[in-house]
């Protein structure tokens, strides 16, 4: 039976105590925005409909190759992972779906897992296939690659796992498969660079042939790691070429941490939108590489500028524009539930601020080549404190005005520690794509 989350009375009591201050802050912000010709109610509406999926692999404590430091009360299986995801959604009302990693979270009984999710008010987002490890004892199949391996038998094994993900996803109600592979070479000369890419496209075509008509296939690129010389799908251009070769159901997925330092991510996003191939996102943040830090923690202006591109596309009605949003982070020193709450709110903040951009004024600045005022127009939106809007949206949607305070005060983690003895602990975490 699904473990009920935080008691609704607890949330209501906390909201009751905070409601008066929120009403005052909301009214003040509404008046300020009205002077700019902005309707605060429209912004609350945008905040209320914002949604990002949670990664099943993100609710266990993460780690690095230097170690993992689990905390008491971690989820021990996919059923308990969903219970933690449900708490994030209960408080933020912004995370209604979960993305599974297979085989880490392969359900023995998909129908039972779907019932469990539905009882918790959750749905399933994109499936994720893992062919960067072997999970069969004694096998080392993927040491030299998976979908691009020189041995056809290994490629077939990797294709079969992706097809299994599609079948599991159908049973769960998912509509997409995300493929990230660690394939590549560690040394010059190790791989025939063009042949490896040809094998990648051929394998993807075999997977795409098994997709239901209403499904999408997302390709996730990454500059390096675990291969440190040449990665088969290393950048958005390669990903675009592969997605185009595979066909119309295939799109590119942008993981914010998977690029060379200083790359202009919002420009990549704009290009993929323009080319009709933006499939979705893995949101996180980074300082140096694929750091998998919490969204918005390091470069909030970059996050806002990405949402500016996304919201512009939505506002302009770009045909076929419907990217999938997923958090993909590793929580090594924080409580994963708390990090996911804060990260979901950070994304919602970027989304709402992007709707604040005065697009008519910006278009005018661009037409007049007024670079200075164009920047000021964008920054006026970025610098607006929209916290009362986000809190009001949560309140109206039945969530918590202050979700972080409520999850701490409710003692969710401590209650998990009491009913999840560590003996059965087997959850995966650590380095993921």
Please give the residue ranges that form the binding site for Mn ion (CB under 5 A): 255, 282, 328, 433
Cβ atoms of 199 and 213 closer than 8 Å: no
Identify which of residues 116 and 282 has a Cβ nearer to Mn ion in the complex: 282
Identify which of residues 144 and 281 has a Cβ nearer to Mn ion in the complex: 281
Identify which of residues 5 and 103 has a Cβ nearer to Mn ion in the complex: 103
CA distances from 295 to 10, 44, 234, 248, 351 (A): 27, 21, 22, 30, 13
The CB-of-292 to Mn ion minimum distance in angstroms stands at 8
The CB-of-262 to Mn ion minimum distance in angstroms stands at 20
DSSP class of residue 288 equals: S
- DSSP string computed for 130-195: E-SS--STT--GGGG-STT-SSHHHHHHHHHHHHHHHHHHHHHT--EEEEE---EESSTTSS-HHH
Identify which of residues 281 and 382 has a Cβ nearer to Mn ion in the complex: 281
CA distance 5 to 232: 43
Identify which of residues 105 and 328 has a Cβ nearer to Mn ion in the complex: 328
Give the sign of the dihedral formed by CA 240, CA 243, CA 248, CA 251: negative
Which H or E run includes 33? helix 8-35
Q: Residue 28 — φ and ψ, nearest 5°?
A: -65, -45
The CB-of-290 to Mn ion minimum distance in angstroms stands at 8
Cβ atoms of 64 and 413 closer than 8 Å: no
The CB-of-281 to Mn ion minimum distance in angstroms stands at 9
Identify which of residues 81 and 222 has a Cβ nearer to Mn ion in the complex: 222
For residue 332, give every residue at least 6 positions away whose Cβ sits within 8 Å of its Cβ, in sequence order, or none. Answer: 61, 62, 63, 64, 68, 69
Identify which of residues 230 and 330 has a Cβ nearer to Mn ion in the complex: 330
The CB-of-242 to Mn ion minimum distance in angstroms stands at 16
Identify which of residues 46 and 259 has a Cβ nearer to Mn ion in the complex: 259
Task: Determine the residue with CB nearest Mn ion.
Answer: 282
Identify which of residues 255 and 285 has a Cβ nearer to Mn ion in the complex: 255
226 upstream amide cis, omega within 30 of 0? yes
The CB-of-194 to Mn ion minimum distance in angstroms stands at 26
Cβ atoms of 126 and 174 closer than 8 Å: yes
Which H or E run includes 395? helix 387-396
The CB-of-45 to Mn ion minimum distance in angstroms stands at 30
Identify which of residues 417 and 428 has a Cβ nearer to Mn ion in the complex: 428
The CB-of-238 to Mn ion minimum distance in angstroms stands at 16
CA distance 103 to 68: 20
The CB-of-422 to Mn ion minimum distance in angstroms stands at 28
Pick from 433, 428, 389: which is nearest to 41 by CA? 389
The CB-of-417 to Mn ion minimum distance in angstroms stands at 29
For residue 281, give every residue at least 6 positions away whose Cβ sits within 8 Å of its Cβ, in sequence order, or none. Answer: 253, 254, 255, 256, 323, 324, 325, 326
């Amino acid at each position: 039976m699904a473990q009920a989350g935080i008691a609704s009375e607890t949330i209501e009591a906390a909201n009751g105590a905070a409601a008066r201050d929120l009403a005052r802050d909301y009214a003040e912000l509404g008046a300020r925005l009205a002077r700019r010709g902005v309707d605060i109610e429209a912004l609350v509406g945008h905040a209320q409909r914002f949604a990002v999926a949670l990664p099943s692999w993100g609710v266990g404590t993460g780690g690095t190759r230097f170690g993992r430091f689990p905390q008491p009360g971690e989820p021990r299986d996919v059923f308990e992972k969903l219970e933690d995801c449900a708490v994030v959604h209960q408080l933020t009302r912004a995370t209604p779906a979960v993305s599974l990693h297979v085989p880490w979270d392969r359900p023995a009984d998909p129908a039972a897992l779907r019932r469990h999710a539905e009882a918790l008010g959750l749905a399933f987002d994109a499936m994720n296939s893992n062919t960067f490890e072997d999970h069969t004892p004694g096998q080392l199949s993927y040491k030299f690659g998976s979908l691009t391996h020189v041995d056809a038998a290994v490629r077939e094994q990797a294709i079969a796992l992706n097809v299994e993900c599609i079948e599991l996803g159908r049973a769960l109600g998912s509509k997409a498969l995300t493929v990230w592979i660690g394939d590549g070479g560690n040394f010059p000369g190790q791989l025939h660079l063009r042949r490896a890419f040809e094998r990648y496209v051929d394998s993807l075509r075999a997977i795409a042939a098994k997709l239901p008509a209403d499904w999408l296939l997302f390709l996730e690129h990454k500059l390096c790691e675990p291969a440190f010389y040449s990665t088969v799908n290393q950048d958005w251009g390669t990903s675009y070429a592969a997605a185009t070769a595979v066909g119309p159901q295939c799109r590119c997925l942008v993981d914010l941490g998977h690029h060379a330092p200083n790359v202009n991510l919002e420009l990549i996003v704009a290009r993929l939108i323009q080319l009709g191939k933006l499939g979705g996102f893995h949101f996180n943040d980074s300082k140096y590489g694929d750091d998998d830090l919490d969204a918005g923690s390091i470069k909030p202006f970059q996050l806002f500028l990405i949402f500016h591109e996304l919201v512009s596309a939505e506002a302009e009605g770009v045909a076929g524009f419907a990217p999938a949003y997923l958090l993909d982070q590793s929580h090594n020193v924080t409580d994963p539930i708390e990090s996911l709450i804060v990260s979901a709110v950070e994304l919602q903040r970027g989304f709402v601020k992007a709707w604040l951009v005065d697009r008519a004024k910006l278009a005018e600045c661009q037409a007049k080549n007024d670079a200075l005022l164009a920047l000021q127009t964008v920054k006026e939106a970025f610098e607006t404190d929209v916290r009362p809007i986000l809190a009001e949206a949560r309140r109206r949607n039945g969530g918590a005005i202050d979700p972080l305070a409520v999850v701490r005060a409710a003692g969710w983690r401590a209650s998990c520690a009491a009913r999840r003895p560590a003996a059965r602990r087997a959850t995966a975490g650590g380095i993921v794509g």
